[in-house]
Amino acid sequence: MIESHIPALIALTFVVFALLIPAFGVWRTEYSQPLSVIGSGLAAVFSLVGFLNYLNEGSLRYFFGGWEPPIGIEFVYDGMSAFFVLVINTVAFLVLIHSRQISKMEFPGKEMPYYSLAMLMLLGFNGMILTGDLFNLYVFLEISSLSSYALISIGDRQAPFAAFRYLIIGTVGGTLYLLGVGFLYTVTGTLNIIDMSAMLQLSEIFDNSAVFAALILMIVGIGVKAALFPMHGWLPDAYTYASSTSTALIAPIGTKVAAYILFRIIFWLFSIDITDAIAPVSYIVGILACIGILYGSIMAIAQSEMKRMLAYSSISQIGYIIMGLSLANPLGFAGALLHVLNHAVMKACLFLVSGNLRMKEGHSDISRFDDSYRKKYPWTMASFSVAAISMVGLPPLAGFFSKWYLALGTIDNENWLFLAVILISSLLNAVYFFRILEKVYMMNPKKDQKEAAEAKKNEAPASMLIPTSVLAIALIVIGFANAAIVGFLFNIFPV
């Protein structure tokens, strides 16, 4: 009986805990973090139950208020939403466990508003994934965006200005998306995704130029959130100056959810024929994604601070996912979604590693890394090595398989430019990750670096170490289990 209510329960859990955290937090502040862990853990359990239920029974449509669509709003729980909800809730759960110690160091005293905002942001992301109504998607988009602006501003000295820039650009993007929804409503008269996709197949509707304008507006508006190439300008500053937990919450999850919306719009709402009817939109989006991949990798090589380097690396990795979107064949689709899973786990692990280093050393500046790290932080640097090798794309770790399927997808389309971009960017990834590994593992200790040779083990506390290690081990597990995952992903491609 509870399985039929899973879509609403996932969103409801976050709302209830977003209300409980202030209620208990004004009484005792130290109750906020355990409550947030319980909340996101409960949501992760619900999404796992729902995923297993989906594998047994098929997709589920949940009508709010008992009103059937197209009159009412619905939540659609099909294969892609089940997969995404499971990924983001699990990653958020592990990051929130990690945040206990570092929250005392980076923002003492502000924990109650922080965790309440984190719950609201996760509500927004889950709602965006689950909903089947275009205007409801705008509402959840704005909920998650406002919470992430506030979360980013709790941080360094330069954080409020970075958050303000992100606010201006993000709100313009959301409003452009809303205008696109307005055009589609004017032409078709409905706001439900399934209903509208049936209506858009009729020729008297998709010949209307308003439909093409709506497509472009929605791609640009959601592209702001997804950090597609020309609209990525907010990302480096916002991820660098935010606190470690905020970045670890927003970076693995936020851009992926926007990429999910792009998948929904281009494959489910407008099928790929209508998208390419007037202009080769998917090819242009693919070219922009390729420019983003190369731009992100090249700028990441030039950075000397680890969080900024990882932020530019995020721009590059989201380019892979959108390039898989633009290929529009089953191999590219499977590669892109597998890369969503892989990148969420890898980036969360890397940002948690930088959080560990900031906790212990006070900085995460690459030019100050030295040989003593491999003695002082053995487990942290081991997790970093696993995640870095997976980002570059070496087998048998998870990153190799997503790039492999993307490459197979480009060969299937005979798109040699995209294949070359994948290979070149993997080499560039190797440059900026392996230089850290070289500094930590491979340099001989100099004769007068006594403290490096005699460093004792000073590892991060267990509550920070366990999530990092779990994520790193998950990469190895995903690498070995990728055949099952890719088989599942081939099944959900909308033909």
Residue 134 or 464: the one with the smaller Cβ distance to other proteins is 134
Residue 65 or 362: the one with the smaller Cβ distance to other proteins is 65
Q: Which of 3, 15, 463, 466 binds other proteins (CB under 8 A)?
A: 15
Token pair in block for residue 442: 């491979």
* Piece of 146-154, 200-208, 228-236, 293-301 that binds other proteins (CB under 8 A): 146-154
Q: Does 5 bind other proteins (CB under 8 A)?
A: yes
3-state SS, the chain, equals: CHHHHHHHHHHHHHHHHHHHHHHHHCCCHHHHHHHHHHHHHHHHHHHHHHHHHHHHHCCEEEEHHHCCCCCCCEEEECHHHHHHHHHHHHHHHHHHHHHHHHHHHHCCCCHHHHHHHHHHHHHHHHHHHHECEHHHHHHHHHHHHHHHHHHHHCECCCHHHHHHHHHHHHHHHHHHHHHHHHHHHHHHCCCEHHHHHHHHCCHHHHCCHHHHHHHHHHHHHHHHHHCCHHHCCCHHHHHHHECHHHHHHHHHHHHHHHHHHHHHHHHHHCCHHHHCCCCCHHHHHHHHHHHHHHHHHHHHHCCCEHHHHHHHHHHHHHHHHHHHHHHCCHHHHHHHHHHHHHHHHHHHHHHHHHHHHHHHHCCCEHHHCCCCHHHHCHHHHHHHHHHHHHHHCCCCCHHHHHHHHHHHHHHHHCCHHHHHHHHHHHHHHHHHHHHHHHHHHHCCCCCCCHHHHCCCCCCCCHHHHHHHHHHHHHHHHHHHCHHHHHHHHHHCCCC
Residue 171 or 271: the one with the smaller Cβ distance to other proteins is 171
**Contacting other proteins within 120-139 (CB under 8 A):** 135, 138-139
Q: Does 366 bind other proteins (CB under 8 A)?
A: no
Q: Which of 31, 63, 283, 295 binds other proteins (CB under 8 A)?
A: 63
Shortest distance (Å) from residue 204 CB to other proteins = 19
Residue 18 or 485: the one with the smaller Cβ distance to other proteins is 18
Q: Does 445 bind other proteins (CB under 8 A)?
A: no
Residue 113 or 494: the one with the smaller Cβ distance to other proteins is 113
Residues 197, 202, 204, CA angle at the centre, nearest 5°? 125
Residue 49 or 419: the one with the smaller Cβ distance to other proteins is 49
Q: Which of 28, 66, 414, 483 binds other proteins (CB under 8 A)?
A: 66
Q: Which of 81, 144, 153, 197 binds other proteins (CB under 8 A)?
A: 153
Q: Does 28 bind other proteins (CB under 8 A)?
A: no
Residue 123 or 281: the one with the smaller Cβ distance to other proteins is 123
Could you tell me how many residues of this chain bind other proteins (CB under 8 A)? Answer: 38
Residue 161 or 416: the one with the smaller Cβ distance to other proteins is 161
Residue 153 or 245: the one with the smaller Cβ distance to other proteins is 153
456 contact partners, CB below 8 Å, separation of at least 6: 375, 376
Shortest distance (Å) from residue 172 CB to other proteins = 7
Residue 191 or 219: the one with the smaller Cβ distance to other proteins is 191
* Piece of 59-67, 312-320, 328-336, 406-414 that binds other proteins (CB under 8 A): 59-67
Residue 22 or 445: the one with the smaller Cβ distance to other proteins is 22
On whether the CB atoms of residues 360 and 107 are closer than 8 A, the answer is: no
Shortest distance (Å) from residue 173 CB to other proteins = 11
Identify the CA nearest to 242 among candidates 301, 173, 166.
Answer: 166
Using CA atoms, how far apart are residues 473 and 244, in angstroms rounded to an integer? 21
Q: Does 311 bind other proteins (CB under 8 A)?
A: no
Q: Which of 26, 105, 302, 473 binds other proteins (CB under 8 A)?
A: 26
Alpha carbon 359 to its chain's center: 24
Could you give the string, one character per residue 213-242, with x where binding to other proteins holds by CB under 8 A and - elsewhere? ------------------------------
**Contacting other proteins within 155-214 (CB under 8 A):** 157-158, 160-161, 163-164, 167-168, 171-172, 175, 178-179, 182, 185-186
Could you give the string, one character per residue 456-495, with x where binding to other proteins holds by CB under 8 A and - elsewhere? ----------------------------------------
List of residues contacting other proteins (CB under 8 A)? 5, 8, 12, 15-16, 19, 22-23, 26, 62-66, 135, 138-139, 142, 146, 149-150, 153, 157-158, 160-161, 163-164, 167-168, 171-172, 175, 178-179, 182, 185-186
